[in-house]
Structure 1
Amino acid sequence: MMLPRRQDYGKRTSDGLRSGPVTSFRSAGSPSSVRRGSAVLPSVLTFLVVVASGGLLLMIEKGMLNSMETPSPRGNARRLELFRESRTHGSDGVDVDSEILQEIRNRTIRTMCSQKNMPHSIWSLSALQRKTVLQHILVNEEYRFLYCYVPKVACSNWKRVLKVLSGALESVDVNIKMDHRSDLLFLSSLKPEEIRYRLKHYFKFMFVREPMERLLSAYRNKFGEIESYQKKYGVEIVKRYRKGLVKDASVKGDDVTFGEFVRYLLDEDVEHMNEHWMPVYNLCQPCAVSYNFIGSYEHLERDSEYVLQRIGAPPFVHFPERQTWWNDDK
């Protein structure tokens, strides 16, 4: 995901730290730069995509924790079974490996977010930033938790879980198309004092995904399968980056290349991006919201089981397995 280029609360370098003037990435994606540096463009774009698509959390983990060795998983299948058993019998089962990794992540985030120019509450965000994060945090009142959903990181399945927990859906395995708005309570619909209370007292969690994988997933899904995205974004991208097609009415936008998509992202204002490729940082604001748990798409089943155990979900509620009839990483 793209690091913010225009933030109200300071400037950021590519590794997530605050510094002086923001480095401009626009020149790297401009036509003139492509002509001058075509030999190095692939490597530059690869670097920019990783930086631009990751957001603060994964950049921290990849950049600062890659030299740390965490305990290797021991018997994942058995551990998941123990999770289910502990939820059934009400015991305090603990996944030590997950706890250690989570503590490393939490300490790293606290260190990064302790910078004085970083936002320390949602009320210190700009109106647009606050609107974005509040519209991406879902609320469950019975089990008292908040979930910040990130498109392309299994958010459809988590919404199914929320609907089952609220009684709006019988089972997570029901073969129906996901309605991403109905039967869901968004934090943005509550009053300021209600928002403050829930942010302070409810269990808060989110899930992140390896940056390049999330970006590729959005590209393949939206430009390869969904006509509305091809018409709205694809046509604009093709006309912007292909010479002589600005006024061509025959452009359908169904053949956007990944390189064109990356150039489009580099030229866009991060705070006005479509949510499917907006940075995780902007969607969930991990410095403004103190999340209790940050799960990983790469360890989705294990981390999801941990969350279900932590919120006290009933034993019959499980995280959905990937099915052939729906795309669960939307």
Structure 2
Amino acid sequence: MLMFAVILASSGLLLMIERGILAEVRPLQPAAAGGETPRRHVAAGHDDLEQQVLQDTRNRTISAVCGQRAMPRSVWDLTPSQRRTVLKHLLVSDKYRFLYCYVPKVACSNWKRILKVLGGALESVDVKLKMDHKSDLVFLGDMKPDEIRYRLKNYYKFLFVRNPMERLLSAYRNKFGEIKEYQLKYGVEIVKRYRKNGVPSVGDDVTFSEFLHYLLDEETERMNEHWMPIYNLCQPCAVRYDFIGSYERLNADANYVLEQVRSPSFIRFPERQSWYKPVTAETLHYYLCNTQRRLIKELLPKYILDFSLFAYPLPNITSEYCRQ
């Protein structure tokens, strides 16, 4: 019931924002970084009107939705399961006094690499090593309640977000196309549940539609982190983030954050690996237009807060769009 109420509230609040009714709501975050400018010169990019409008929309929507009576005001208002999830996704840098809520499929490996360099565990962000997602990282969830409270109150807090459908497609292509562990753990079960012909599978041929069927039937709070909604991973109502960056403006926004936490000037956000295959607009178009519209529409309520809070448009699955 709570989630349904929030979905209705967020839709109404977005309409209010468009009409200017919430113009006096104070933003939760500072304005975002502007264009692709080098570090130490990023401030000039803050004149980027389009980005300022995006940040302003996010800030006001989050303020309005999180101001609803039923919404959590702190991590201590969350259920034990919700609290465990967000605290295990908040990475800590005590040296630079910041908390980063990592979101899988939103460049979190590179941010973890930066944290390891800042902590002295890695010499450079360019070191060619397989990413260990646990070692040499400090998680807020491993700390005592008083230590958690102090850091939540006093540290700079940020996260990065991505178009929800693009993130799901990225997770699907990566986990079921490349990772044997996911094929065996999730793929085999998905095929068994949703493929009518009964032909056995080793989990490496899961279709996108079968994946979406699986997500539709999954309880949100029990989802794997790679496709759990960002709202559930990072709880932007319970944690007052100072900055929400975008995957679409990754370099500029990452440089802005590095500037804010006063990291050493030689540290830069890593370039994408040469083997990385990004999800393009054309790729997303292909998958959306070859998936049942009913299935996508039924799935949207599970991710509606990610769309509305972070100002992403709902997926276009009209006949006209798919003919293009």
Q: TM-score, normalised by structure 1?
A: 0.74
SS at match of 1:84: coil
Rounded to whole Å, the distance in 2 between the matches of 1:328 and 1:141 is 33
SS at match of 1:274: coil
Amino acid at match of 2:186: Y
Q: Which has the higher contact order (CA 8 A, sep 6+)?
A: 1
Rounded to whole Å, the distance in 1 between the matches of 2:234 and 2:158 is 10
Q: CA RMSD in A?
A: 2.8
- Could you tell me which residue of structure 1 aligns to residue 35 of structure 2? 76
Note closer, same or farther for the CA distance 1:322–1:208 as it changes in structure 2 (3 Å cut).
same
Are residue 301 (structure 1) and residue 266 (structure 2) matched? no
Q: CA deviation at 1:264?
A: 0.4
SS at match of 1:118: coil
Q: CA deviation at 1:254?
A: 1.1
Q: Identity over aligned residues, as a percent?
A: 61
- Could you tell me which residue of structure 1 aligns to residue 181 of structure 2? 228
Amino acid at match of 1:257: T
Rounded to whole Å, the distance in 2 between the matches of 1:214 and 1:62 is 22
SS at match of 1:95: helix
SS at match of 2:158: strand
Are residue 284 (structure 1) and residue 237 (structure 2) matched? no
Match for residue 11 of structure 1 among 3, 23, 34: 3
Say which is worse superposed, 104-113 or 266-275, in terms of deviation.
104-113
- Could you tell me which residue of structure 1 aligns to residue 220 of structure 2? 270
Q: TM-score, normalised by structure 2?
A: 0.75
Rounded to whole Å, the distance in 2 between the matches of 1:223 and 1:63 is 38
Show structure 2 runs of 5+ residues with no match.
Answer: 21-31, 280-324
Match for residue 154 of structure 1 among 95, 102, 107: 107
- Could you tell me which residue of structure 1 aligns to residue 146 of structure 2? 193
Contact 1:102 1:293 in 2 (8 A): no
- Could you tell me which residue of structure 1 aligns to residue 67 of structure 2? 114
Note closer, same or farther for the CA distance 1:201–1:96 as it changes in structure 2 (3 Å cut).
farther
Contact 2:34 2:47 in 1 (8 A): no
Amino acid at match of 2:233: L
Q: CA deviation at 1:242?
A: 1.6
Match for residue 239 of structure 1 among 183, 192, 195: 192
Note closer, same or farther for the CA distance 1:255–1:74 as it changes in structure 2 (3 Å cut).
closer
Amino acid at match of 2:229: P
CA deviation map 1:66-114 (0-9, x unaligned): 899xxxx99934xx13x3357xxxxx76723355543432122101110
5 Å-filtered alignment, 1:23-172, equals 76-77=35-36, 80-81=37-38, 83-85=39-41, 95-97=46-48, 98=51, 101-172=54-125
Rounded to whole Å, the distance in 1 between the matches of 2:127 and 2:16 is 41
- Could you tell me which residue of structure 2 aligns to residue 176 of structure 1? 129
Rounded to whole Å, the distance in 2 between the matches of 1:119 and 1:95 is 31
- Could you tell me which residue of structure 2 aligns to residue 253 of structure 1? 203
Rounded to whole Å, the distance in 1 between the matches of 2:67 and 2:247 is 26
Contact 2:103 2:161 in 1 (8 A): yes
CA deviation map 1:101-158 (0-9, x unaligned): 4343212210111000111111011110000000000000011000000000000000
CA deviation map 1:32-77 (0-9, x unaligned): xxxxxxxxxxxxxxxxxxxxxxxx8xx9999887899xxxx99934
Show structure 1 runs of 5+ residues with no match.
Answer: 1-6, 19-55, 87-91
Rounded to whole Å, the distance in 1 between the matches of 2:181 and 2:71 is 37
Rounded to whole Å, the distance in 2 between the matches of 1:217 and 1:128 is 26
Rounded to whole Å, the distance in 1 between the matches of 2:45 and 2:155 is 20
- Could you tell me which residue of structure 2 aligns to residue 216 of structure 1? 169
